[in-house]
Structure 1
């Protein structure tokens, strides 16, 4: 259900969220559920504000039964530094709100609910800082690694960490069930979610890398300059291996040498991308000259 717009950002209440509110209201827990989703809304709103400040358009903020999502246009083209700022905004906002609540707990008459509100925001911040995709901590770590080794490899590293976290959560579930006969459904859902999400991130990593690099030419034209990295490649080297080295934050120039290490020519990144649809990823660098 669409509930309104703020500066062209549509706010949506998922139908299942409304059903959940109704169920908990009947059970006498509506206040706590509203506090949870108020916290989630605050968290997602912080992501949206950061995106707007960086020049991105936020289409929607939707509250779901188990969290929320801010849908940001051109997020797949964001630089590593921009992604760090947008991802960090959510946990930072949750921590600030948790700190404000903690400092005023003793001043409120509804102490139980205020304590619950504090714990939810603290948990929301800490959970999202886990270095696993698609959580904020995983996005921050991937962006930091992308500055060093490229987006594709960074995604692979963090996706494997996500699988490890997912496995760790399942070990915790089995441990609790074996020794205490407790079955934690929340951890099972979280483990499944992280595993599936990591797999999905790997599928789109190559596509997003291509989009980032394809937009670099326009960025260079608009800014007039860009940091540059030079590589030297053998003429018989696969272009696939060289393209993997390209980074979103820099422009690349490749010097091509033969087996005697004599210079055969040079290629700009733009020339490589323009010839790639014709030559293919498994062509040799010398074929691009």
Structure 2
């Protein structure tokens, strides 16, 4: 989803944090929007629109602080998910902030009964806790100025964030709770399909409401929920279709390779003869790199391929097939080189290998009653 994300040079509690480019656009937009409507926000929070707050650059500075506080609240919400998942032995690849909030990308969904519901419900509970904390600090503060506005704004925002995420629609937390509860009584794939159907229905209603009242942001959120719910259902099919399969079960073991001392001319002749344009570079069975036609631009005909090769995209032979598919999809690989624990080349896995198995297993699943 986030191929244009910028990873920050630090981690929070050991978890990488990334900013999607859409976040860098929406943050200043929110700052200007809040700043331009500051008098209305102040009245809604029961504060008097003082000239010191509503004149000059002050409202836009407060808008920026409020927008940063909003996304900081989202980040803390996602950290709640990530730390709870860690308690179930599930690692979080990264947390990404983007246009519509934040996403904690877990390695997998734990299949222990009720685990997904526990992980999901922690996010809204964290947001409710933040809302209460901000409300308490505002009540204890004697300020009626900028600090009171920020605390009041963040209290309302976190309450809204908690309530919105409790909607029973995937990929929102409420949708994950719904799926987890359904999975207590029926197969996981069937539970996902039911939760996805409920999600699409709610997304349609939310989108229609957004269009009727002229709220384009609500309509955009509804579109995201609809698409994400469909993706969740598809992902569940993939997970079940590839369950129990490892890379070594699907890889091609016979791989044409080249040695690092082969010249560019020799490589081109090999490409012409074999009608292939990408080769692993191997010495004594050990994978050194990859060399392809695009790597030869401007190369001397007598240069060895070791001077032009690039780092290989590798995966272990005992890695799960679903992990391989996810990595290929996220990073845009058409194939990955398979290595053993010693770093020796043992095969190659293409996206075609995975999709072919997906088609076969999905057809098998479609002919089987999921309730059996």
Task: State the TM bucket, normalised to the shorter chain.
Answer: 0.5 to 0.7
State the match for 2:134 in structure 1.
101
* 2:41 corresponds to 1:10: no
Structure 2 segments unaligned to the other structure (5+ residues): 1-5, 36-59, 246-359
Equivalent residue of 1:70, what SS? strand
Deviations 1:145-164 (A, max 9, x none): 01101112111211111121
Equivalent residue of 2:114, what SS? helix
Give me the whole-angstrom Cα distance separating, in 1, the residues matched to 2:132 and 2:365.
51
1:171 Cα deviation after fit: 3.2
> Greater CA deviation, 21-30 or 189-198?
21-30
Q: TM-score when scaled to structure 2?
A: 0.53
Kindly indicate whether the alpha-carbon contact (under 8 Å) linking 1:35 and 1:117 is maintained by their aligned counterparts in 2: yes
Kindly indicate whether the alpha-carbon contact (under 8 Å) linking 1:46 and 1:89 is maintained by their aligned counterparts in 2: yes
Equivalent residue of 2:104, what SS? strand
State the match for 2:65 in structure 1.
31
1:280 Cα deviation after fit: 5.1
Give me the whole-angstrom Cα distance separating, in 1, the residues matched to 2:366 and 2:114.
31
Give me the whole-angstrom Cα distance separating, in 1, the residues matched to 2:180 and 2:106.
17
More helix by share: 1
1:17 Cα deviation after fit: 1.6
Give me the whole-angstrom Cα distance separating, in 2, the residues matched to 1:24 and 1:198.
27
Equivalent residue of 1:149, what SS? coil
Deviations 1:177-199 (A, max 9, x none): xxxxxx10111111111111121
Describe the shift of the 1:282–1:41 C-alpha distance in structure 2 as closer, same or farther (beyond 3 A).
closer
Pick the structure with greater CA Rg. Answer: 2
> Greater CA deviation, 119-128 or 153-162?
153-162
Equivalent residue of 2:185, what SS? helix
Kindly indicate whether the alpha-carbon contact (under 8 Å) linking 1:10 and 1:61 is maintained by their aligned counterparts in 2: yes
State the match for 1:189 in structure 2.
220
1:60 Cα deviation after fit: 0.8
Kindly indicate whether the alpha-carbon contact (under 8 Å) linking 1:8 and 1:59 is maintained by their aligned counterparts in 2: no
State the match for 2:235 in structure 1.
204
* Counterpart pick for 1:49 among 75, 80, 83: 83
Q: TM-score when scaled to structure 1?
A: 0.67
Deviations 1:43-88 (A, max 9, x none): 001011101111111221111122011111133x533422111111
1:99 Cα deviation after fit: 1.5
Describe the shift of the 1:283–1:31 C-alpha distance in structure 2 as closer, same or farther (beyond 3 A).
closer
1:24 Cα deviation after fit: 4.8
Equivalent residue of 1:148, what SS? coil
How many aligned residue pairs are there? 216
Kindly indicate whether the alpha-carbon contact (under 8 Å) linking 2:15 and 2:93 is maintained by their aligned counterparts in 1: yes
1:282 Cα deviation after fit: 8.0
CA RMSD of aligned residues (A): 2.6
State the match for 2:104 in structure 1.
70
Describe the shift of the 1:153–1:114 C-alpha distance in structure 2 as closer, same or farther (beyond 3 A).
same
* 2:125 corresponds to 1:92: yes
* Counterpart pick for 1:163 among 200, 203, 215: 200
Kindly indicate whether the alpha-carbon contact (under 8 Å) linking 1:173 and 1:187 is maintained by their aligned counterparts in 2: yes
Alignment of structure 1 residues 226-265 onto 2, 5 Å: none
Structure 1 segments unaligned to the other structure (5+ residues): 177-182, 216-275, 285-289
Give me the whole-angstrom Cα distance separating, in 2, the residues matched to 1:135 and 1:24.
22
1:7 Cα deviation after fit: 4.7
Give me the whole-angstrom Cα distance separating, in 2, the residues matched to 1:73 and 1:93.
22
Give me the whole-angstrom Cα distance separating, in 1, the residues matched to 2:191 and 2:69.
36
State the match for 1:117 in structure 2.
154
